[in-house]
């Protein structure tokens, strides 16, 4: 269906290429911009040394695993997208098919189902053998940068992405909503690893929460929200000053921008 929109053949090989090229372009544009804005001699992470050998190695590793994950995930997802493209799922293009009320309601249904599935998939990935063989690479980065956003083993990326694809078989979803949700999930993957928090509402699984997930591992498994973490007792509050958490690991955008404004004003 995406290939049809691009004028390309609906063939598994072409679908694999579209997902790979689209995924790599989108991810490296977003992660590159974020890294440049927040990490390269930036006021947001002033102590981060981009030229430090350890940091350079980590960024290289994250980029390597992101490329592996996009390629591997595209190979695993291509057959599913082929089924969707050949009319086996419930994606649709004409709004009139299900009407405007459903079009406006469906993003909430997508969010509710994907949030629930991803919380439990992610918790499952922290179970001993699955953690050691599937999810370990993502947690090799204890203090993340934006490039860690997609640094996964392919099976890990596939497991965490599968709820989005299965949804297109369960519910009628407009192609526009489907594409926006794939774009947004990539943007979110970058944003929760930049360690610059613009949001402070505890209901949203913002970067402060996910940074604690990398540091402590067994907390904050959610995707966009913290509702399941709160219900299941796996919530950890990023506003608390933990003794064993390095200072300045997460910065508040408001504080940095406030200091900049004061500097300009004085
Ligand atoms: Zn994890
Ligand atoms: Zn992460």
Residue 264's pLDDT is 63
Q: How far is the CA of 87 from the centre of ligand 1 (A)?
A: 34
pLDDT > 90: percent of the chain: 75
Burial class (CB in 10 A: 0-12, 13-18, 19+), 175: middle
> Which ligand places an atom closest to the C-alpha of 190?
2
> Which ligand places an atom closest to the C-alpha of 220?
1
Q: Which long-range contacts (CB under 8 A, 24 or more apart) does 107-112 make?
A: 107/177, 107/181, 109/171, 110/164, 110/167, 110/171, 110/173, 110/177, 110/181, 111/224
For 128-152, what is the mean pLDDT? 96
Q: How far is the CA of 17 from the centre of ligand 2 (A)?
A: 26
Q: How far is the CA of 173 from the centre of ligand 2 (A)?
A: 28
For 73-79, what is the mean pLDDT? 95
Q: How far is the CA of 31 from the centre of ligand 2 (A)?
A: 13
> Which ligand places an atom closest to the C-alpha of 148?
2
Report yes or no: 252 and 232 within 8 Å, Cβ to Cβ.
no
Q: What is the pLDDT of residues 18-46, one digit of tens each?
A: 999 999 999 999 999 999 999 998 889 98
For 146-163, what is the mean pLDDT? 95
Q: How far is the CA of 135 from the centre of ligand 2 (A)?
A: 10
Q: What does the mean pLDDT of the chain come to?
A: 92
Q: How far is the CA of 142 from the centre of ligand 2 (A)?
A: 9
Q: What is the pLDDT of residues 175-210, one digit of tens each?
A: 999 999 999 999 999 999 999 998 888 999 999 999
Residue 257's pLDDT is 82
Domain ranges of the chain: 2-195
Q: How far is the CA of 11 from the centre of ligand 1 (A)?
A: 34
Q: What are phi and psi of 38, to 5 degrees?
A: -105, -20
Q: How far is the CA of 134 from the centre of ligand 1 (A)?
A: 10
DSSP state of 252: E
Residue 22's pLDDT is 94
* CA-based nearest residue to 196, from 259, 118, 257, 142: 257
For 53-59, what is the mean pLDDT? 96
Tell me which residue has tokens 């991803």: 118
> Which ligand places an atom closest to the C-alpha of 121?
1
The reply to whether the predicted model has a pTM over 0.85 is yes
pLDDT > 70: percent of the chain: 98
Q: How far is the CA of 217 from the centre of ligand 2 (A)?
A: 10
Q: How far is the CA of 95 from the centre of ligand 1 (A)?
A: 37
């Amino acid at each position: 269906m995406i290939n049809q929109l691009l004028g390309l053949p609906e063939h598994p090989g072409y679908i694999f290429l579209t997902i790979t090229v689209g995924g790599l372009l989108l991810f490296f544009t977003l992660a590159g911009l974020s890294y440049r804005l927040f990490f390269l001699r930036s006021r947001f992470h002033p102590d981060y040394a981009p030229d430090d050998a350890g940091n350079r190695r980590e960024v290289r590793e994250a980029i390597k695993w992101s490329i592996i994950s996009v390629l591997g995930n595209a190979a695993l997802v291509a057959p599913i997208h082929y089924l969707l493209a050949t009319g086996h799922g419930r994606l649709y293009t004409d709004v009139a098919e299900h009407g405007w009320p459903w079009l406006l309601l469906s993003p909430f249904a997508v969010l509710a189902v994907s949030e629930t599935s991803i919380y439990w998939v992610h918790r499952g990935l922290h179970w001993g053998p699955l953690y050691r063989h599937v999810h370990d690479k993502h947690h090799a980065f204890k203090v993340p940068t934006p490039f860690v956003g997609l640094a996964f083993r392919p099976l890990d990326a596939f497991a965490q992405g599968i709820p989005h694809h299965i949804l297109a078989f369960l519910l009628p979803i407009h192609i526009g909503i489907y594409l926006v949700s794939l774009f947004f999930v990539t943007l979110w993957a970058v944003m929760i690893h930049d360690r610059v928090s613009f949001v402070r509402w505890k209901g949203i699984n913002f970067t402060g929460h996910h940074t604690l997930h990398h540091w402590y591992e067994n907390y904050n498994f959610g995707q966009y929200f913290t509702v399941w973490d709160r219900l299941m007792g796996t919530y950890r509050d990023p506003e608390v000053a933990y003794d064993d958490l390095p200072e300045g690991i997460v910065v508040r955008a408001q504080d940095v921008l406030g200091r900049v404004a004061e500097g300009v004003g004085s």
